[in-house]
Amino acid sequence: MKLVILDRDGVINEDSKDYIRSPDAIRPIAGSLEAIARFTQAGIHVAIATNQSGIARGFFDVDTLNRMHGLLCSRAAALGGRIDLIAFCPHGPAAHCGCRKPEPGLLQSIARRFELPLADIPVIGDSLRDLQAAQRAGARPILVTTGNGPGVAQSLPPALAEVQIFANLYAAADALLAGA
């Protein structure tokens, strides 16, 4: 494994129904930044694939999003972690773009950037759309039960019934680094 792709809100950062709109709303989930550090120290690249329709909805702009991501990166770096790439979809659901999860565009873009096939690349998310994007891209979907994960775990469709489920990103990192 040379790469892991993570969703942001609900996996790394606490999610909010009102959208994460400013750097003040960046509140890492316990153990998530440490998990990123563990991946980094194991020589695994970390990328984030995140839908950010708050841009299309006018809740924040790209500069604000970049400040939020800069803060997340600096907090991970303080623990010895590195986020190598953050890919985001700025479109709203009505745009029907190829980059908004559950479409695979963001994941495919990340794969091109790292010049890696997505087969067996773990994509860790807390929402059904994260898992569907991973499946559509030919990657390995993994669910965490932080964020939206508890509800998703209760209603996985048959096509995703075999998805690995972990309590949080740290537990997923434990299993992946142990070779699970």
Please report the pLDDT score of residue 154 as a whole number.
95
Domains of the chain plus CATH, in order, are: 3-177 (3.40.50.1000)
The predicted model scores a pTM of: 0.97
Known catalytic residue at 7: yes
- pLDDT tens digits for 47-92? 999 999 999 999 999 999 999 999 999 999 999 999 999 999 999 9
- pLDDT tens digits for 116-151? 999 989 999 999 999 999 999 999 999 999 999 999
Contact 89, 116 (CB under 8 A): no
**Element (DSSP H or E) covering residue 177:** helix 169-177
Please report the pLDDT score of residue 180 as a whole number.
60
Q: What mean pLDDT value characterizes the chain? A: 96
Known catalytic residue at 15: no
Q: How far is CA 35 from CA 49, 69, 79, in A?
A: 17, 17, 10
Residue whose tokens read 């303080």: 78
